[in-house]
Amino acid sequence: MSTEPHLPQSETRDRILDAAERLFMEHGFEGTSMRLITGAANANLAAVNYHFGSKDALIQAVFRRRMTALNEARLAALDRLEAEAGGEAVKPSRIVEAFFGTALELAADAEHGGNTFMRLLSRTYNEPNAFVRQFLAEEYAEVMDRFLGALFRALPGVPRDEIMWRFHYMMGAMSFAIAGIESVYATAGLPCKEEEPSRMRPRLMSFLLGGLRAPLPDFGAAATD
Amino acid sequence: MSTEPHLPQSETRDRILDAAERLFMEHGFEGTSMRLITGAANANLAAVNYHFGSKDALIQAVFRRRMTALNEARLAALDRLEAEAGGEAVKPSRIVEAFFGTALELAADAEHGGNTFMRLLSRTYNEPNAFVRQFLAEEYAEVMDRFLGALFRALPGVPRDEIMWRFHYMMGAMSFAIAGIESVYATAGLPCKEEEPSRMRPRLMSFLLGGLRAPLPDFGAAATD
DNA sequence: GTATGATTCAAACAAACGTTTGAATTGAGA
DNA sequence: TCTCAATTCAAACGTTTGTTTGAATCATAC
């Protein structure tokens, strides 16, 4: 109150961030107007430009708010594993657990918006929006370097291309896991009850590890097929 | 020319569909204006409304053009497998090959827009746009029914929930495989050369089958963890 | 040629967009 | 009470949006 200048962290700012996070997840960036955001946040239309400067800056703020914490948690988990291993290579399953488990924990937190954010993040992977992608790539740079490097060391016999692609596939599987199952199966007359959060983690993790451990593809045989 | 009324399948119509397909893939539905589409298609602004009626109708037309063929090819492949099996259950790996292999073949066709469309389709999974989702769900209904049913028969010991989730995960992995790897790893100083199309299929298929065959998750142990 | 239906075109429409403005309102310190 | 900065607000800004219009152009059949 005394040392800090004047950063009441305006309650309005947070309401706008929460509303924007949810609406971006539901309708995308271009599909969400400032009037929709400020309306849902019970704020004046001009509030976004006052607090953030522009819509683009708001988008970045929405990501920055959670992304930093997520990536720090991931790096901390990897640090812990590498410290335990003490020079030895960390087991691949532990590395995968550290990366994707951290994300799933955030996605399981529905009360503080973690789930909303992870669904927004999943959605954003497939939106080649120029500056959002640039922003995400910068945020991910160190994390990717560390985790892929750990996997390279853990799987010295496996080509690095192969590891990167499998990691990429795992990201896709996680993305869909978080997005939920109702997307396509809803109208199909199939039972599609939503996943209980505590079941998602072991379910997905088993699949991911199965995929990671799969035998290497035989390009020679398949190329002529 | 004589029996058909007047359907010259206006060359303009196709140019608009091609341009829209590509631009929707790059910028999303809301991020792509009619002026951008008609500009890229060398057509007049009013041409979209003349040939399709509205922007929403154009979106549906873009999907309908390829989706029907893709799903028919999938069903035909499954028909073939079931005929070969002659009453017996089809091997899970063959079922997965039929569903995802068909999609990958379309994605490998870069010349006639198949690749563009598959990337658009992947992107659309994560866009809960109301009426596009409805449209996709209807298009997928029969295919999902058939393929999941075949998997249920092929894996009688596995809970149906588990099969549906793993199929969903596989869709996510395929989605990311088609979208390409450069999304996140670009700025990270990692080698991220694009995949040669012929290598994508065995690479992804090996991962998918590894995930499908993974041991079932142990919910009991993990729930208390 | 002339008529007819299909297609293209430039121009305009109202609505929604992100942003800016300048005056109100607020709240704490002097 | 007065001050001053932070915040809110209604109103307007100039663009861009999807769509419509009515005349021009094209191609074909008579």
Residues B121, B33, single domain; the answer is no
CB pair distance less than 8 Å for B210 and A205? no
Does the residue A125 lie in any domain?
A: yes
Same-domain status, A114 and A10: no
In whole angstroms, what is the distance from residue A177 CA to residue A190 CA?
17
**Is B132 domain-assigned?**
yes
Residues A19 and A125 in one domain: no
* Mutation site, A183, A204, A209, interface B, largest B CB count within 10 A: A183
* pLDDT value for A163: 96
Task: Write B127-133 long-range contacts (CB < 8 A, 24+).
Answer: B127/A28, B127/A123, B127/A126, B127/B28, B127/B29, B128/A26, B128/A183, B129/A27, B129/A31, B129/B29, B131/B56, B132/B29, B132/B59, B132/B60, B132/B63, B133/A183
- The total domain count for chain A is 2
Domain for residue A129, yes or no?
yes
Nearest CA of chain A to the CA of B29: how many Å? 9
Which residue of chain A comes nearest to B148, CA vs CA? A190
Is residue B225 situated within a structural domain?
A: no
pLDDT band at A130 (very low <50, low <70, confident <90, very high): confident
Q: Which of A53, A78, A95 finishes a domain?
A: A53
What is the CATH number for B37? 1.10.10.60
**What pLDDT was estimated at residue B4?**
30
Extract the tokens encoding A175: 């993305």
Q: Which percentage of chain B shows pLDDT scores above 70?
A: 88
Closest-CA distance, B133 to chain A, in angstroms, reads 7
Q: Which of B173, B13, B94 is nearest to A165 (CA)?
A: B173
Query: Does residue B182 surpass a pLDDT of 80?
Result: no
B121: domain range? 63-216
pLDDT at B225: 39
Confidence band of A1 (pLDDT split at 50, 70, 90): very low
Q: Give, in order, the Cα–Cα distances in Å from B100 to each of B75, B127, B170, B174, B204.
A: 12, 21, 9, 8, 9
Two structure tokens written together for B8: 């010259």
Q: What percent of chain A has pLDDT over 70?
A: 87
Distance of CA A195 to the CA centre of its chain: 18
Give the tens place of pLDDT for each residue, B13-43.
999 999 999 999 999 999 999 999 999 999 9
The average confidence (pLDDT) of chain A is 88
Rounded to a whole number, what is the distance in Å from the CA of A63 to chain B's nearest CA?
A: 15
Judge: B140–A184 Cβ closer than 8 Å, yes or no. yes
Q: Give kind and range of the element (H or E) at residue A26.
A: helix A11-27
Report if residue A179 sits inside a domain. yes
Q: What is the mean pLDDT of residues A11-24?
A: 96
Pair A41, A133 in one domain: no
Least reliable range by pLDDT among A33-37, B48-52, B124-128: B124-128
Q: Region B141-150: what's the mean pLDDT?
A: 95
The answer to whether residue B5 scores a pLDDT higher than 50 is no
Cβ atoms of B108 and B115 closer than 8 Å: yes
Question: Within this chain, do residues A25 and A131 fall inside the same structural domain, yes or no?
Answer: no
Sign of CA dihedral B212, B214, B216, B220: negative
Q: Which residues of chain A neighbour B140 with C-beta distances below 8 Å?
A: 184, 187-188
Interval B212-222 mean pLDDT: 83
What integer is the mean pLDDT of B135-162? 93
Chain B residues with CB under 8 Å of A218 CB are 202
Contacts of B204 (CB under 8 A, 6+ apart): A165, A169, B100, B104, B173, B174, B177
Q: Please report the pLDDT score of residue A136 as a whole number.
A: 87
Residue A224 lies in a domain: no
Please tell me which residue, B222 or A31, carries the higher pLDDT value: A31
* Across A213-217, average pLDDT: 96
Q: Helices (DSSP H) in chain B: which residue ranges?
A: 11-27, 34-40, 47-51, 55-85, 92-96, 102-108, 114-125, 130-154, 160-179, 182-185, 197-212, 219-223
A142 and A34 within one domain:
no
Closest CA relative to residue B164, chosen from A207, A104, A168, A170: A207
Question: Does A221 score more than 70 pLDDT?
Answer: no
Q: Which of A83-92, B154-163, B214-223 has the lowest mean pLDDT?
A: B214-223
Q: Is the pLDDT of residue A225 over 90?
A: no
Cβ contact (<8 Å) for A168 and B176? yes
Cα→Cα distances A23→A29, A36, A191, B86, B99, Å:
8, 8, 28, 50, 33
Is residue B58 included in any domain, yes or no? Answer: no
Give the per-residue pLDDT at A186: 55
Question: How many whole angstroms separate alpha carbon A61 and alpha carbon A53?
Answer: 11
B201 touches chain A (CB under 8 A): yes
Residue B222: inside a domain, yes or no? no
Domain co-membership, A108 together with A154: yes
Same domain, residue pair A72 and A49? no
- Give the highest mean pLDDT range of A102-106, A108-112, B7-11, B178-182: A102-106
pLDDT single digits (tens) A168-203: 999 999 999 998 887 666 545 555 566 777 899 999
**Quick one: B180 and B78 in the same domain?**
yes
* Judgement on whether residues B46 and B67 belong to the same structural domain of the protein: no
pLDDT of A6 above 60: no
Q: What is the mean pLDDT of chain B?
A: 88
CATH number at residue B206: 1.10.357.10
Say if residue B8's pLDDT is above 80: no
* pLDDT tens digits, B51-91: 999 999 999 999 999 999 999 999 999 999 999 999 899 99
Straight-line distance from CA A5 to C1' C23, in Å?
A: 26
**Which amino acid type is present at position B66?**
R
The answer on pLDDT for A9 being more than 70 is no
Sign (positive/negative) of CA torsion B169, B170, B171, B174?
Answer: positive
A210 pLDDT above the threshold of 70: yes
Give pLDDT, residue A182.
73
Q: Could you tell me the distance in Å between the CA of residue B174 and the C1' of nucleotide D12?
A: 49
Model confidence at A214: pLDDT above 90:
yes
Find the length of chain A: 225
Tell whether B89 and B32 lie within a shared domain: no
Q: What is the pLDDT of residue B117?
A: 96
Element (H, E) at A16: helix A11-27
Q: Give the CA A6 to C1' D4 distance in Å.
A: 14
Q: What is the DSSP letter of B212?
A: H
Which of B173, B166, B132, B169 lies closest to B152, judged by CA? B166
Encoded tokens for B47: 């041409």
Residue A138 contacts residue A71 (beta carbons within 8 Å):
no
Give the domain-ending residue among B34, B53, B72. Answer: B53
Shared domain check, A15 and A119: no
A vs B, Cβ pairs < 8 A, gives 229
